[in-house]
Amino acid sequence: MQEAIRTLKNWLAESDNIVFFGGAGVSTESGIPDFRSVDGLYNQKWKYPPETILSASFFARNPEEYYRFHREKLVIDGVKPNRAHLRLAELEAEGKLRAVITQNIDGLHQAAGSKNVLELHGSILRAHCARCRKPYSAERMNHGTGLPRCDCGGVIRPDIVLYEEPLDEDVMGRAIHYIRQAEVLIIGGTSLNVYPAAGLVRYYRGQRLALVNLSETPYDSFADLVIHEKIGEVFSQI
């Protein structure tokens, strides 16, 4: 495996057109559980399956229960970027990395200093009224009690993409653009199970696709380099 990490390090040294595409596994070393690992969110007991709670129709029907889940499971206080987030921010500052494309909603890439972050699934650090779309700070939504309401009477919701909702076309279009143009594409900490995000992999046209993920993914055979190790540990060596 050291050999693979050395290869990745060389690729990074030789390129100024690196793109990163990641998911929940990027933040587990910061203390945020992922969705599909054995101790992930989807394997915990809850009254409804989390995919159901995180859906638009459930939010409309049962916003109180949504907020119970949101505040207990999605909002984790005191989390900090880990070595993967920090190294990615460094690579961008060095003019080598063009974009971070993430499925995460935790804002940790920006906290690490990354500037060009494409949030495919939005962010729990922003909020807006579900009825009139007025923007709100996330404070009351994430840390208050009861249903956060807008002046218009609508329910305030997080700026995240719930199941049954389409991804933002502009963000998706830019993600496709960066991946198509990338010389080195690193994909990390994602099971590549959730579409349309996972389908982004297919837009890559180069020969330097590195996949850094603890477990196997459906795209392992598609990658030029596969590293099944913790991403923070790998990034501290590259």
Binding site for ligand OAD (CB under 6 A): 23-25, 28-29, 34-37, 40, 54, 103, 121, 161, 189-191, 193-194, 213-215, 230-232
Q: Which of 175, 215, 193 is nearest to 21 (CA)?
A: 175
By beta-carbon proximity to ligand OAD, the closer residue of 89 and 198 is 198
Nearer to ligand OAD (CB atom), residue 9 or residue 134: 9
Between 130 and 214, name the residue whose CB sits nearer to ligand OAD. Answer: 214
We find the least distance from the C-beta atom of residue 75 to ligand OAD, in angstroms, to be 14
Closest CB to ligand OAD among 23 and 107? 23
d(CA 85, CA 121): 17
Q: Of 36, 5, 9, which Cα lies nearest the Cα of 189?
A: 36
Widest Cα–Cα separation across the chain: 59
Residues paired with residue 188 on neighbouring β-strands, in sequence order: 22, 212
Contact 180, 197 (CB under 8 A): no
Strands (E), the chain: 18-22, 97-102, 117-119, 122-129, 135-137, 156-160, 184-188, 208-212, 225-227
Buried b (16+ CB within 10 A) or exposed e, 50-74: bebbbbeebbeeebebbbebbeebb
Instruction: List, by residue number, the catalytic residues.
Output: 121
The two structure tokens encoding residue 113: 């200093």
- What does the block give as tokens for 196? 């349309």
Of 156 and 197, nearer to ligand OAD (C-beta) is 197
Q: Which of 183, 193, 196 is nearest to 220 (CA)?
A: 193
